[in-house]
Amino acid sequence: MAAKRVRLAQRRKAMGFSQEKLAEHLGVERSTVGRWESADTEPQPWHRPKLARALQVSDDELQALLDDVTVIQAQPSERMNYVLQNPSSADMVAVAYLHERLRQLDESYDHTSSTAILGPAGQVHGQVKFLRENATNPRVRRALYEVEADSATLMSQLVWDVSQRRDHQAPLTYLDEAVDAARHVRDPSVESYAVLRKSFIALYGEKDATKGRHLAQQAAEVAQVASPSLTGLSLLHVAEGYAMTGGLKECEDALKKAETQFDRVNGDDVSAQYYTINEFNRLAGSCYLFLGLPERAEPILRATTKALAAKKKSQAIALGNLTLAFIRQGKLDEAADTMHRTIDAVELTRGGGGLNLAFSAGRELRPWRGEAWAQDINDRLLALMAAI
């Protein structure tokens, strides 16, 4: 495993220093500067004031540069094995390795089955918790809490998917871990997202619209101080909670509030990836389906399914909802075509949301089960069920 303090090296270069010149300025060997930048060591306390002045940064900014360790090759190494055998020796390089592994797994979520990701994600989560429980360096322990909050959130998502959204308790336990870890490091964005995922379980698993709406509202309130994106996304699920209980006015009011958050999103919002116009439209389409207005849902969902081509699990959900919109309007040719596309997407990713919607659409096609096209769809659903 190779690691570097990329931002530290960039700052050195920006101030016009080579490693040799900075070493000469500080009265150390060039190899010492090299070890600082390769994250093998940290500057001794007596070097830090002069280093901060040379780089023209404050003490806190220097510490941030030293903490920002980037893994260049995220492969297991003797060093990582040593850290796991001697957890009190955990350092920022070990944290960076685990964070990079988690990032890779998270990025694979939209195009890989949750079953395939669950084992590696569980291993990372277990290692993070183990090192955090045994770390002696407060900064390292804090950084491990940050990774743990994210890994627990991902684990909840994967476990719920693999259970086909039937097991609610295990995902909720992971989300409680995520909330606790996020509060330890005072990260409202991560806390908000974990609470929001609790609302998903209430809305789509427990089928408790009121509970889900209240959790989504709680997530919006937590996010308000830190992330317009998560505030907007949470409000979308508040809207969906109202839609599930037939509250058209309340639903559209929440959708309007969610839409206003787009104007507040900026480059500093680390959660911007979660809140896009496609996600807004996907949830708006879902709302109108719940409200019994498939004719309003259809055009929104048509556009959304095309735009979500790169996010297969989200696209499968949108396709499932679009299928339902067609069925409920009696547009059976379009429903059949979209149903096949839904099954294609679910076969690829095994996403729990798309899977449930595919079977829901299949149940609504029962009045036409004698038709050849409906029998083809039923055969594919049976094969899909057998493969799970």
Q: 379-388 pLDDT, tens per residue?
A: 999 988 876 6
* Cβ count within 10 A of residue 170: 14
Residue 246 three-state SS: coil
Residue 220 three-state SS: helix
Alpha helices, DSSP H only, in the chain?
A: 6-14, 19-26, 30-37, 48-55, 59-67, 78-85, 92-107, 114-134, 138-162, 169-184, 188-200, 209-223, 228-244, 248-260, 277-290, 294-307, 312-328, 332-349, 352-364, 372-387
> What are phi and psi for residue 349, nearest 5 degrees?
-115, -20
Instruction: Supply the pLDDT for residue 1.
Output: 44
How far is it, in rounded angstroms, from Cα 244 to Cα 271?
A: 26
| CB burial of residue 95 (10 Å; 0-12, 13-18, 19+) | buried
Rg of the chain over all Cα atoms, to the nearest angstrom = 25
Instruction: Supply the pLDDT for residue 260.
Output: 95
Residue 171, pLDDT > 50, answer yes
Residue with the two structure tokens 């547009």:
331
Mark 295-332 as b/e (b = at least 16 C-beta within 10 Å).
ebbbebbbbbbebbeebbbbbbbbbbbbbbbbbbeebb
Distance, CA of 225 to chain centre: 20
> How far, in Å, are 6, 13, 48, 65 from residue 61 at the CA level?
14, 16, 11, 6
How far is it, in rounded angstroms, from Cα 327 to Cα 185?
A: 48
Instruction: Supply the pLDDT for residue 271.
Output: 83
Mean pLDDT of 20-28: 92
Residue 2, pLDDT > 60, answer no
Q: Quote the percentage of the chain above a pLDDT of 70.
A: 96
Q: What is the DSSP letter of 112?
A: S
Instruction: Supply the pLDDT for residue 73.
Output: 47
How far is it, in rounded angstroms, from Cα 358 to Cα 119?
A: 26
Instruction: Supply the pLDDT for residue 113.
Output: 75
pLDDT tens string 339-349: 999 998 888 77
Q: Quote the percentage of the chain above a pLDDT of 90.
A: 68
Residue 4 three-state SS: strand
Q: pLDDT grade, residue 184 (50/70/90)?
A: very high
Mean pLDDT of the chain: 91
Mean pLDDT of 263-270: 85
Mean pLDDT of 119-142: 95
Instruction: Supply the pLDDT for residue 74.
Output: 47
pLDDT tens string 78-101: 788 899 999 999 999 899 989 988
Lowest mean pLDDT among 11-25, 160-174, 282-296, 347-361: 347-361
Mean pLDDT of 170-185: 97
Mean pLDDT of 10-29: 92
pLDDT tens string 132-152: 999 999 999 999 999 999 999
Instruction: Supply the pLDDT for residue 334.
Output: 96
pLDDT tens string 42-60: 898 889 999 999 999 998 8
Residue 182, pLDDT > 60, answer yes
Lowest mean pLDDT among 12-21, 74-83, 221-230, 325-334: 74-83
